[in-house]
């Protein structure tokens, strides 16, 4: 690969990491960017390596944030707000990608219908979310509907209903309304930027592998990336191992010659190496740094005065 393209990959990767840290800091105003980087790298390394790592990663992030003075309510608000904004971004990306394909003439009728339907669903969700934050009666009705849906879902899945299914939206509204009123734009911009810069890493890997616009267009790469981001919402494997590789390679090799298809596979593997494998050792280093910093901040046990009097005097300086 040409050295300039390797530099482009490095720049886009750094931009992807930094925008993610900025999103974490936007949801947690009391957090420094350095601490946001530590908690993001540490929890992501766990989520990418441990089966069912999402739950373990939440425990790791809570341990780190609580050591920095983040309260329980603030952590719950951070988890819900960042999770919702990421879901909105993952739902919106396919709509944007299909709309671009339709405008540029690369989409068929099915793709156009899917784009319009997805846009309608996304608008309804956004309007409903805004109404939940601004209207308490609407929030109460939505909370009651959510409780009924949870009960029905548990019955269909033959699982016991949650002990407390009502009041979830009301508590979220009470805690998140002030934060979103002040920082909704910053949270939205950093969330979208974190997803788009990650796609730019993929595009840079495709171009570095020698694939031109005529072979794999940026519109097609964005559509494949958006589809995979939506699919990876389901925690099928740690970090989407296997799912992401197949989901990206499959759509991009359609209609390509074998040599070009091999380049697509190489580009996807390179993309996963720098976005999935590389953060694992970085996360381990971030976790070790946090442990060392926490140990340094812990109070040192000093001997009691009675015992200190029995200790020998230090030797005189030479």
Q: In this predicted structure, what is the pLDDT of residue 301?
A: 42
Per-residue pLDDT of the chain (318 residues), as tens digits, is 888 999 999 999 999 999 999 999 999 988 999 999 999 999 888 888 876 667 788 888 888 998 898 888 788 788 878 888 888 888 888 888 877 877 776 655 545 555 566 667 767 777 776 676 667 777 677 767 766 766 666 666 566 655 555 666 666 666 677 777 788 899 999 999 999 999 999 999 999 999 999 999 998 899 889 888 887 776 667 777 888 899 899 889 988 999 999 999 999 999 999 999 898 999 999 999 998 888 876 554 444 444 443 344 444 443
Residues 122, 119: Cα–Cα separation, whole Å: 5
32-35 long-range CB contacts below 8 Å, 24 or more apart? 35/64, 35/68
Structural contact between residues 106 and 246, judged by C-beta atoms closer than 8 angstroms: no
Q: In this predicted structure, what is the pLDDT of residue 36?
A: 94
Return the H-helix or E-strand segment holding 227: helix 218-231
Q: In this predicted structure, what is the pLDDT of residue 300?
A: 44
Residues 27, 189: Cα–Cα separation, whole Å: 12
Phi first, then psi: give them for residue 217, nearest 5 degrees.
Answer: -75, 160
Structural contact between residues 208 and 9, judged by C-beta atoms closer than 8 angstroms: yes
Could you give the C-alpha distances from 150 to 67, 77, 85, 140, 161, in angstroms and in order? 34, 21, 21, 15, 7
Residues 122, 146: Cα–Cα separation, whole Å: 18
Residues 182, 178: Cα–Cα separation, whole Å: 6
Residue 51 Rama label (left phi>0; alpha psi -120 to 50; beta) = beta
H helix runs in 68-160, sequence order: 72-103, 109-134, 136-156
User: What global pTM score does this model have?
Assistant: 0.79
Q: Number of H helices and number of E strands within the chain?
A: 12, 0
Phi first, then psi: give them for residue 145, nearest 5 degrees.
Answer: -65, -40
CA angle, 44 as apex, 74 and 67 as ends, to 5°? 40
């Amino acid at each position: 690969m040409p050295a300039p393209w390797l530099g482009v990959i490095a720049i886009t990767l750094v931009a992807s990491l930094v925008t993610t840290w900025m999103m974490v800091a936007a949801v947690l105003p009391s957090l420094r960017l350095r601490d946001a980087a530590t908690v993001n790298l540490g929890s992501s390394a766990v989520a990418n390596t441990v089966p069912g790592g999402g739950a373990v990663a939440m425990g790791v992030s809570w341990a780190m944030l609580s050591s920095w003075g983040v309260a329980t309510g603030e952590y719950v608000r951070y988890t819900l707000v960042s999770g919702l904004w990421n879901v909105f971004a993952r739902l919106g990306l396919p709509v944007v990608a299909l709309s671009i394909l339709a405008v540029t003439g690369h989409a068929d009728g099915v793709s156009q219908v899917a784009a319009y339907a997805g846009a309608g669903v996304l608008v309804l969700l956004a309007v409903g979310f805004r109404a939940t934050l601004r209207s308490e009666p609407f929030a109460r009705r939505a909370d009651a509907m959510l409780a009924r849906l949870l009960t029905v879902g548990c019955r269909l899945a033959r699982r016991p209903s949650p002990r407390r299914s009502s009041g979830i939206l009301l508590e979220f509204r009470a805690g998140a309304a002030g934060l979103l009123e002040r920082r909704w734009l910053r949270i939205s911009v950093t969330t979208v930027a974190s997803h788009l810069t990650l796609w730019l890493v993929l595009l840079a890997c495709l171009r570095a592998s020698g694939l031109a616009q005529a072979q794999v267009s940026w519109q097609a790469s964005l559509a494949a990336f958006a589809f995979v981001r939506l699919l990876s919402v389901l925690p099928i494997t740690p970090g989407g191992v296997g799912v992401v590789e197949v989901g990206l390679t499959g759509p991009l090799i359609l209609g390509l010659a074998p040599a070009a298809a091999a380049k697509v596979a190489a580009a996807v593997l390179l993309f996963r190496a720098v976005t999935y494998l590389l953060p694992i050792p970085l996360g381990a280093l971030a976790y070790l740094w946090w442990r060392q910093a926490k140990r340094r901040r812990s109070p040192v046990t000093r001997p009691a005065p009675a015992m200190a009097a029995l200790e020998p005097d230090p030797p005189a300086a030479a």
